Structure 1
Amino acid sequence: MDGLVPCLTSKVAEYNGRPALFINDKPAAAAMVFVEPKYVRSFAEAGLHIYNPDLSFTDWWLGVDEYDMSAVDARLQDYIAGDPDILLIPRIAMGYAEAKWWREKFPDEIAIARSIDTGARVDRFGEGASHRGSGHSFASKIWLKEAEKAIRAIVEHIEGSDYAGHVAGYHIGGGITTEWFSWNAYHFDLCEDYSLMMGEYFRAWLANRYPNDDALREAWQDDVVLLATAMPPEPARMVGYDGGYLRDDRRAVDYLECHSDAIVSALRELTSAAKESCGRKKVVGVFFGYAWPHRNNANPARTGHVMMKKVFSLPDVDFIISPYHYDNRALGGYNGPQSLPDAIAANGKLYVSEIDTITSVIYEQERKRRIHHFGPMPKSVRESVEILARDFAAAAHLRAGYWWMDVLQRGAFDNPEIMMGIAEFRRIEDELFAMPWKSAAEVAVVFSPESCLHQRLLNSMPHWYLSVLRQWGLARMGLPFETVLIDDLLEGKTKSYRLLIFPNCYYLSDNNRRLLRRILENRRISALWFHAPGYLSDTGKGVDYCSELTGIKLREAGGSVKTASFLRSSDPMLKDIRGGVRFGIGVDQWEIDRLSVPGRSPLAPDIEPVIVADDDNAQVFARLEGLGLPGLVCNRSMGRVDVFSLVPAPPWRFLRNLAAECGAHVWCKSGDVIYADNRFVALHATTKGQKRIMFPYKVDVVDLRTGERFGEGLDFIEFEAAKGETKIFGIRQS
C-alpha cells in the first residue's frame, strides 16, 4: 500500500474466477494476520497490512445498555500505531464480551447441560469449563436482543471513530472459542440444551415442520406426543446410545437440527446487525462449516454446524473462516481445511484459512516438549518455513484468503528467517492474485451434512471415514481435489468432475437418491462409495436403497469387522499394491495417534451395519478380515466406474489408481502432497528423494520461491527434495 487511503467500503465479489476481497472497489489479496500489536511492524515490513484483532477478552460490554468503548479504542489504536497502512477486521466475540456478568444478571438464560450417563444437570462455567464464555442459551430471546444491541453499539462506535478509515470489516464470533459451537461441544459426558428457552424454541420449530399432532406422532412413532408439550430427547437418546450407528430416530434428529437452527438464527441476526450498523459498506464474516472431524469435534450435528448450506448462503455473511485440520499437519503432512472452501465459494463467499501453525519458536519455548492440543512441532526454523510454505500453497490454490495466526499469542513468527519466508509468500501471492484462476481439480469429495444428524454421536467412525481418508489418503494421491455439498451437487451448482467420493452419504430422500444416480450416469461420472450409501431415506431404510444408489447389488451381513485386505491382482486399480495389504479402522493406529491431536473417543469401533457386495458383475479387490466377504468391489459399466468399500481409508495408491482410471490427471505418483491450479503447482514432500511432477499440458515452468526457470513447453520436471520441503512452481500453458 502506498500510504493509507481510508477504507470507506469493502465487499466480496468475483474476481478472476473466484470470490475475492475488494477494498474501495479495488480487488485486494486477503492476506491477513492474527497477532498481538507488538508484532505488527514486522508483518508490515513483510507486506501484510490486514489484521484480525481479537476483542474476546476486552471489557467493553459492562451490562444491559452499558458500554465502555475505551478498551476497544485502546486495543485497536495499538495496532494502528505499528503500521500507518493497516486495515482491521476486529473479532467481536459475543458470548465472551458479556461473560463476567451475564450469568449473575440472567441466571435463567443459560444453556443447561445434562449428563449422558445419569441425566442429571451439570453446570460447568469458568475454570471448570472448556471455555470462559457466558454459556447463554442460543434460544434465549433476552440474550439475542441484548447481543444485537451490543453489536450495533460497538460497530456504530467504531464507524464513528477517528480510526474508522482503518477498519475494513467485522468478524462476528459466537459460542465456544467464537467459532459458533455449542457451549458443551468439548464436554463429551454432556448434552445441551435443556433450558426452558430451548424447549420453547424446539416446540415452535416443530410446529413449522409438522402441520398437526398426528403428523408429529407418525414421524416420532409416539402415540401420545403433542406439539404443545414436546420436549428434547433425553441425553442418552440424543447421543444414540440405545440404537445402531445409523439411526432413524426422528425425535433426536429433529432436535439436533433444531439446535443447529437456533445457533444459525443467532448468527444470522448478529451478522445482519453488524452489516446494518456499518451501512452495509463493509464485509462481515464468521467461523462456520467445520465438516472434517477430529477427536474433540466428532460430528457437526453435536457442535451445531450441521446447517452449512444455510450459513454459506446468508446474504449478510461475506467471508467464512476455519482453521486447517489438526491431524497430520506436521512436517510432511497435509493442510486440509476444516470447513468446505469450494462449497463456500460456490455460494459467492470468500473462504479464509486460519493458519494456526505452531513453529519452532514455540518448540524452543516449550523446551522441545509437545503441546497437548497440537501434534508434533517443527524442530527448526527451516522446518517451520517449509510447513508455512505448504500452508500458504494450500490457501493459494483455492484462491482463498488466509491469516497467519499466533494461536498461543507467544510470538510464533518472531524470528527473522520465518518472517523472510512470510514476506516471500506475500510476494508470490501478489503475483498469483493478478492472474485468472481456474480449478485443476477433477476429483471431489461430496459431504452430506444431513447424514451427520443420523449418526450416533460421540462415535469415532466419522474420524476414519472422513478425516483419516483425507489427511492420510486423498492428501497423497498426487492430484488436487475439492469438497462439495451434496445439495449443491443435486442442484447443479458444481463443476463437472471425473470422480466423486461419497464418505458419509447415509441419508437421501427417495427423490434425491434417484436424482443422484441419474446425474452420475448421464454425466459419466465415476463414484467411490463408502459404508452404507443411501441406507436411510424419507420412506424407510435398508440395503436395497444402497444397491439402487451404487448400481452394485449389496446385502447386509452379520459379524463384526474393522478392516479388509487386498487380493493379489494385476488389475490396474491395484497397481503397486501388494496382496495382503490391510486398510481400515485401527490400521496404522500408532502413526495416526502420533500425528493427531489427543482425544477421548474410542478410536477403533466395529463397523455397523456391515454391508457387503453380492453381485456377480462386481470385481472383488479386497475381502473383509475375519469374515472373508467382499469388502471392496468395482463395477465397470457404460464408460464409468462404481467402487464400493465397506471399510474406510484405503491407501493413497489405490485412490491414485482409481482417479487415473477415471481419467483424472495425476500430477505426482510418489505419494507427496500436491496443491495445484492453472497458475501454479506446489509439492510438499512426504519423503526424501527424487520427485517428478507431470503436467496435464505443455507448460513453461519457474520456481516461484527462487526465480529459477526450468524451461518452456515442458511435460514434466524432476528434482530432489528433502522430507517436508515445499516446492512452488509457477506454470503457464505453452
Structure 2
Amino acid sequence: MATSVALSVAVFLIVLGSLGTASAELGAGVQKVEVKSTNGVPRLLLDGKPTVPVVFFYNTDIPGPESDRYLREQVALARDAGVHLYSLPLRCPRRPDGVTPNYEYGKGLLDKFLAVDPEALFLARVYPGPNWSWKEVREKTIPETEQARFADGSTPGLSIASEWFRKATNDDLADLVSHYEASDYGKRILAWHAGGPYHEMFLEDYRQKGPDYSDANRAAFRKWLRVRYETDTALRAAWDAPDVTLESALLPVFDPGRFPMRGKGRDALIQVFYDLPREQNWLDFSEFTSDVTADRITEWARIVKETSGGRKLSAFFYGYTVDLPGSLAGHYRLGRLLECPDVDLVASPYSYMGRFAGEPGGFMCPVDSVAAHGKLWFNEDDTRTSLVDLANLPEHFTLFDKRCADLHESVNVLERNFGSILAHRAGTWWMDLVSRGAFNHPDLWHMLRERKERYADVYRDPQPYRPEVAVLLDEDSKFCAKDDWDTNYWTMYRLRDESAKAGASVGCYTLADFLANIVPACKVYVFANAFRLSDEQIGAIRVRLDREQATAVWIYAPGYLGPHSVNAENVARLTGIRVEVADAALGSTGEGLLAGESWGAPLTVSPRLVVTDAAAQPLGRYRAGGQVSSAERQHGSHRSLLLGDMDPTASVLRRLFESAGCHLWVRGGEIVQTDGAFLMVHSGEGGVKPIFLPDGVAAEPIEAEVVGRSDGEVSVRFLPGDTVWFRLRGPDGGPR
C-alpha cells in the first residue's frame, strides 16, 4: 500500500524541514547499480556484485517519538540480519517561500537510518511535482482545467493527463535526482521510485466515482483519438456515431449505476462486455487511460537515467493486472514498461485478497513475465503482523482491523511470501506501513537471514523458473469488460488463488509473451481472459499449442470478441469446440473427468456459452438448464478444454493439471512454491500431511518435521499455519 501524508503532518514537515540536519559521515556507498539478467534470472548488481533484493521500508511520514523508536529498533534488527537496503518516503517539501526545495529535510530522514546502520543504502520513494508545500498549491493558482474532476464535481488532485502537471513534475524530478546525485548522499541511493499525482499510478477513488472528466483529460483523449483514427470518417465508423469528430469527441457519459464498482450477484443479468460499436468510446477511453499512465512512467524512467548518468535504477508501482477492477484502471500497459530499457524495477503490494494463514498471498501482476524481460519485480510486503502496536495508530489507516493472530502466524506468513519471491525470482520490501513495529521482533529477522541464503544460492547459480502450468493474462481483453467487478473477481482474483492451491508448479505471464515465445514451454496453459483476439493471434496460439502438443484450458468466453464480429463462431475457431449463446445463471456440476466436482460463479451473465459440439467430451453441465458448460476435444495436435463457467476450483484445476501430466506435490489445498532446487509448502491446517515427490527426487528438510517416508512420499507434521522447507536432490545427488 503506497504511503500518503496525512494533513496533520504538514506543519511538522515545515518546522522540521526548516531546522536542517547535520550531514552524516558517509562511507564509500555504491557508484553503479544495475539489474542484469543472467540465464533468465534478473539480478540486482551493486558495483557488479550480486545482492539479494530484500529491503526494509519504514514509513517516515508518521512523526513522533514512538515512530523514531520503532525506526531505530527495526533498522538495528535489519542490520544485524545482514539487510542493509532500505526504503522510505523521501519527501522534499518546499521552504516557506513555496518555491525553494528543502532538500535538507530528506537528508535528515536518511541520517536517521545511517545513524543505526552506517552501511545503509536506499530505494528512495519520491513524489515529484506539486504538493501541499508549493506556492501554487497554497495560493490556489493552478488552473482549474488541470485538476482531475469527477462527475460529482469533486477533485482528488491534479490530472495525470495535465500538461501543466507533466512539465512541473518532470522538472521537479530532474532537479531532485540531480541534487541528490551530486551530494554525498547520491552514492547511498540505489533507485528512484517515482510516481504521481497518485503514487500507485491509478486515479484515487476511480472505483467509487468513475473517470476523470477534467478539461485536461478531455484534451488529452482527443489528442489520443487523432493518433488512433486520423480521420473523422474512421472515428465515426468505429463509434457508430455519424456526428462525432476528432475535435468534438467527448469523454464517455457517466453511468450512475456503474459506480461505485461492486458485485451484482445472481439476481441481476450482467452484461460482461461493452456493446460494440455503441460503447467503443468506453473501450477507447480505457486504452487511453493506460496509455497516458504508461507515457508518464516511461518519461520519468528516462529522466532518472539521464539525470543519474545511467548509474541508478528507476522504479514504479504498476502492473496491478489481477487486482485492479475496471477497464479504466490505467494499469494495463505493463508490456510497454517491460519493453522500455529505462525501466528497471516494477512493484505492487502483494494481493490484499488471501493474505493470512492457509491463503496464497498472490502477486497482483503476471510476475513471471517481468522476470522473463529482465526486470526485477518487488512485492511490497505490508503484512499486518501481530506485532503492530495498535495504540496511537493514525486514524486514517483503516486496514488494520485484522492482523495475524500471533507471532507464529506472522513468521509463517512472511515465510510463505518469501517462498513466492524466491521461486518467481522477485524482490521484496518488508513495510512497516504505520510505523508501529510491524517487524519489531528478532524471530522475524532470524528467519529472513536464513531464507536469504536460499536466494543467494539462486544468484550464485542462476536458473530461471520453469513451471509446468502457465496462467496467461491478456491486458487488451481487460479493456473490453464493461462489468467492472464480478468478471475480474471470478476470472482473475479467484483463478490466481485457486490455481495456487492446486498442488502444481504454476507461473503467471502475459498472453503477449506467450505469443512472442517468451513464455517457456509448459504442459498446461490456462487462458484466463483471452476474450478479444485478432486472426493473427488465433493462428499463432494454435500453432504454438500444436507445436508443443500442449493442453489448453480456456476460461469463460475465449475469442468471443473476434476481430470482425462478436459471436460464438469465434470461440470455435480458437478452441475447436462449437458453442452457442444461452444467457442464464452460471454454476456447473462435473461429469467425466470432472465427475463429482462443483464449481462456478454465483452470477447470471450475458453471454453465457453452452457447448453444442457432439464431437466434444462433456466435462460439466450448468445446473440452470442442464446444458453442457464444459468440454474437451483434440484440436489439431493439442488438447483443448473449454470451461464456459467462471471460477474453476482448485479441485477442478488439480484434476485437469494431473490429466495433462503435471506433477502434484500436494493434494489438500496447501500452497506450494518450488523451482526444482527447493520446495516450500504452506498449510493453514495442522496435522500430518503427505508431500508427493517426482520419481528419482529426494527431499532433505531445511525446516520441517518429517514423521515418515515411503516410496515417493514424505509425511510432514504441520502446526496450523506452518510453512515448511525442503532442499530437493535429483537422482545424481545434486540439485534437481
Give 1:342's aligned residue.
Answer: 368
SS in 2 for 1:66: coil
Q: Using the TM superposition, give the Cα deviation of residue 218 of structure 1 relative to its aligned residue in structure 2, in angstroms.
A: 0.8
In 1: Cα distance, 2:462 partner to 2:698 partner: 16
**Structure-2 change in CA distance of 1:651 and 1:711 (3 Å):** closer
Give 2:212's aligned residue.
Answer: 193
In 2: Cα distance, 1:252 partner to 1:246 partner: 11
Instruction: Please tell me whether the aligned partners of residues 98 and 134 of structure 2 are also in contact (alpha carbons under 8 angstroms).
Output: no
Give 2:525's aligned residue.
Answer: 500
| 1:164 paired to 2:186 | yes
In 2: Cα distance, 1:479 partner to 1:95 partner: 46
In 1: Cα distance, 2:632 partner to 2:120 partner: 56
| Correspondence for 1:214 among 219, 233, 244 | 233
Q: Using the TM superposition, give the Cα deviation of residue 21 of structure 1 relative to its aligned residue in structure 2, in angstroms.
A: 0.7
Instruction: Please tell me whether the aligned partners of residues 130 and 169 of structure 2 are also in contact (alpha carbons under 8 angstroms).
Output: no
Q: Using the TM superposition, give the Cα deviation of residue 418 of structure 1 relative to its aligned residue in structure 2, in angstroms.
A: 2.5
Give 2:174's aligned residue.
Answer: 152
Instruction: Please tell me whether the aligned partners of residues 129 and 172 of structure 2 are also in contact (alpha carbons under 8 angstroms).
Output: no
Give 2:587's aligned residue.
Answer: 563
Deviations along 1:98-118, whole A, 9 cap, x unmatched? 576555231325343333xxx
In 2: Cα distance, 1:700 partner to 1:684 partner: 19
Q: Which amino acid aligns with 2:112?
A: D
**Structure-2 change in CA distance of 1:438 and 1:267 (3 Å):** closer
Task: Calculate the TM-score normalised by the size of structure 2.
Answer: 0.87
Q: 5 Å matches for 1:644-723?
A: 644-705=642-703, 715-723=712-720
Instruction: Please tell me whether the aligned partners of residues 202 and 330 of structure 2 are also in contact (alpha carbons under 8 angstroms).
Output: yes
| Correspondence for 1:277 among 307, 314, 324 | 307
Q: Which runs of 5+ in 1 are unaligned?
A: 116-120, 126-134, 587-604
**Structure-2 change in CA distance of 1:437 and 1:366 (3 Å):** farther
| 1:584 paired to 2:614 | no
Instruction: Please tell me whether the aligned partners of residues 326 and 374 of structure 1 are also in contact (alpha carbons under 8 angstroms).
Output: no
Deviations along 1:73-127, whole A, 9 cap, x unmatched? 1111111111111111100123674576555231325343333xxxxx42144xx
Give 1:520's aligned residue.
Answer: 545
| 1:620 paired to 2:644 | no
Give 1:202's aligned residue.
Answer: 221
**Structure-2 change in CA distance of 1:729 and 1:246 (3 Å):** same
Q: Using the TM superposition, give the Cα deviation of residue 685 of structure 1 relative to its aligned residue in structure 2, in angstroms.
A: 1.2
In 2: Cα distance, 1:109 partner to 1:521 partner: 54
| Correspondence for 2:355 among 291, 307, 329 | 329
Q: Using the TM superposition, give the Cα deviation of residue 179 of structure 1 relative to its aligned residue in structure 2, in angstroms.
A: 1.0
Give 1:511's aligned residue.
Answer: 536
In 1: Cα distance, 2:162 partner to 2:710 partner: 63
In 2: Cα distance, 1:366 partner to 1:650 partner: 43
Give 2:424's aligned residue.
Answer: 398
Instruction: Please tell me whether the aligned partners of residues 386 and 410 of structure 2 are also in contact (alpha carbons under 8 angstroms).
Output: yes
| Correspondence for 2:142 among 80, 92, 106 | 106
Paired-residue identity, %: 26
The 10-residue stretch of structure 1 (236-245 or 622-631) with the greater mean CA deviation from structure 2 = 236-245
| 1:72 paired to 2:106 | yes
Q: 5 Å matches for 1:43-192?
A: 43-55=78-90, 58-60=92-94, 66-94=100-128, 97=131, 103=137, 104-115=140-151, 121-125=152-156, 135-176=157-198, 178-186=199-207, 188=208, 190-192=209-211
Q: 5 Å matches for 1:384-533?
A: 384-471=410-497, 473-533=498-558
**Structure-2 change in CA distance of 1:21 and 1:61 (3 Å):** farther
SS in 2 for 1:731: strand
SS in 1 for 2:271: coil
Q: Using the TM superposition, give the Cα deviation of residue 703 of structure 1 relative to its aligned residue in structure 2, in angstroms.
A: 2.6
Instruction: Please tell me whether the aligned partners of residues 60 and 71 of structure 1 are also in contact (alpha carbons under 8 angstroms).
Output: no
Instruction: Please tell me whether the aligned partners of residues 174 and 267 of structure 1 are also in contact (alpha carbons under 8 angstroms).
Output: no
Instruction: Please tell me whether the aligned partners of residues 634 and 642 of structure 1 are also in contact (alpha carbons under 8 angstroms).
Output: yes
Q: Which amino acid aligns with 1:51?
A: Y
Give 2:271's aligned residue.
Answer: 244
Give 1:25's aligned residue.
Answer: 48
SS in 2 for 1:395: helix
Q: Which amino acid aligns with 1:647?
A: D
Give 1:641's aligned residue.
Answer: 639
In 2: Cα distance, 1:51 partner to 1:414 partner: 15
Deviations along 1:388-430, whole A, 9 cap, x unmatched? 1101111111121111111222110112323322333234333
Q: Using the TM superposition, give the Cα deviation of residue 436 of structure 1 relative to its aligned residue in structure 2, in angstroms.
A: 2.7
Q: Using the TM superposition, give the Cα deviation of residue 522 of structure 1 relative to its aligned residue in structure 2, in angstroms.
A: 2.8
The 10-residue stretch of structure 1 (151-160 or 61-70) with the greater mean CA deviation from structure 2 = 61-70
In 2: Cα distance, 1:377 partner to 1:398 partner: 26
SS in 2 for 1:681: strand
In 1: Cα distance, 2:298 partner to 2:97 partner: 23
- How many residue pairs get matched? 679
SS in 2 for 1:322: strand
| Correspondence for 1:13 among 36, 41, 45 | 36
**Structure-2 change in CA distance of 1:75 and 1:85 (3 Å):** same
SS in 2 for 1:704: strand
In 2: Cα distance, 1:374 partner to 1:304 partner: 27
Instruction: Please tell me whether the aligned partners of residues 533 and 561 of structure 2 are also in contact (alpha carbons under 8 angstroms).
Output: yes
SS in 1 for 2:536: helix
**Structure-2 change in CA distance of 1:451 and 1:641 (3 Å):** same
SS in 2 for 1:615: coil
CA RMSD of aligned residues (A): 2.8
SS in 1 for 2:633: strand
Q: Which amino acid aligns with 1:18?
A: V
In 2: Cα distance, 1:714 partner to 1:403 partner: 40
**Structure-2 change in CA distance of 1:385 and 1:147 (3 Å):** same
**Structure-2 change in CA distance of 1:549 and 1:366 (3 Å):** farther
Instruction: Please tell me whether the aligned partners of residues 357 and 721 of structure 2 are also in contact (alpha carbons under 8 angstroms).
Output: yes
Deviations along 1:482-517, whole A, 9 cap, x unmatched? 111111111222211111111211111122122222
In 2: Cα distance, 1:630 partner to 1:702 partner: 46
SS in 1 for 2:588: strand
SS in 1 for 2:335: helix
Q: 5 Å matches for 1:536-551?
A: 536-551=561-576
Task: Calculate the TM-score normalised by the size of structure 1.
Answer: 0.87
Q: Which amino acid aligns with 1:506?
A: F
Instruction: Please tell me whether the aligned partners of residues 389 and 438 of structure 2 are also in contact (alpha carbons under 8 angstroms).
Output: no
**Structure-2 change in CA distance of 1:713 and 1:623 (3 Å):** closer
Q: Which amino acid aligns with 2:30?
A: C
Q: Using the TM superposition, give the Cα deviation of residue 149 of structure 1 relative to its aligned residue in structure 2, in angstroms.
A: 1.0
SS in 1 for 2:495: helix
| Correspondence for 2:723 among 719, 723, 726 | 726
Q: 5 Å matches for 1:28-43?
A: 28-36=51-59, 37-38=71-72, 39-43=74-78
**Structure-2 change in CA distance of 1:713 and 1:71 (3 Å):** farther
**Structure-2 change in CA distance of 1:234 and 1:102 (3 Å):** farther
Instruction: Please tell me whether the aligned partners of residues 327 and 375 of structure 1 are also in contact (alpha carbons under 8 angstroms).
Output: no
In 1: Cα distance, 2:158 partner to 2:155 partner: 12
In 2: Cα distance, 1:273 partner to 1:101 partner: 24
Q: Which amino acid aligns with 1:273?
A: I
